[in-house]
């Protein structure tokens, strides 16, 4: 596709390639105080997991020290981390939620 002007100047349309945005994992970190049912409830409420998947991720957090809640763009991941952190503080739980580049 080109555009020609009266002075015989031709401009060629060029396509710039854009890379997809980097993705970030949202993780819950294990601690010795947050009840398991609270973690399951957080996973269901903020990450829309069913009870089975939420329980599986909670057990991963418990046994491996951390568990992946989801993979999102930077802004969405940061929002999820903040929502979970505020919810945990409001319920006086030490649950930690962090993000790391995928």
Dump pLDDT digits (tens) for 47-67. 999 999 999 999 999 999 999
The radius of gyration of the chain from alpha carbons, rounded to an integer in Å, stands at 22
Can you give the pLDDT at residue 3?
Answer: 56
Can you give the pLDDT at residue 16?
Answer: 80
Mention every residue, 6+ apart, whose C-beta is less than 8 A from residue 36: 58, 62
Q: Domains of the chain: which residue ranges?
A: 21-99
Query: What does CATH list as the number for 21-99?
Result: 3.30.1390.10
Find the angle CA(76)-CA(77)-CA(79) to the nearest 5 degrees: 65
Mention every residue, 6+ apart, whose C-beta is less than 8 A from residue 68: 25, 26, 27, 57, 60
Can you give the pLDDT at residue 10?
Answer: 66
Q: Which residues of the chain have pLDDT under 70?
A: 1-11
Q: Enter the pTM of the model.
A: 0.82
Cα separation of 22 and 29, whole Å?
22
């Amino acid at each position: 596709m080109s555009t020609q002007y009266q002075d015989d100047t031709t401009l060629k349309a060029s396509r710039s390639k854009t890379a997809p945005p980097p993705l970030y994992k949202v993780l819950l970190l294990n601690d010795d105080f947050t009840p398991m049912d609270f973690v399951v409830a957080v996973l269901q409420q903020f990450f829309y997991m069913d009870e089975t998947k939420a329980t599986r991720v909670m057990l991963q957090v418990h046994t491996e020290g951390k568990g992946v809640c989801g993979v999102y763009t930077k802004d969405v991941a940061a929002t999820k981390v903040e929502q979970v952190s505020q919810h945990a503080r409001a319920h006086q739980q030490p649950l930690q939620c962090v993000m790391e580049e995928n």
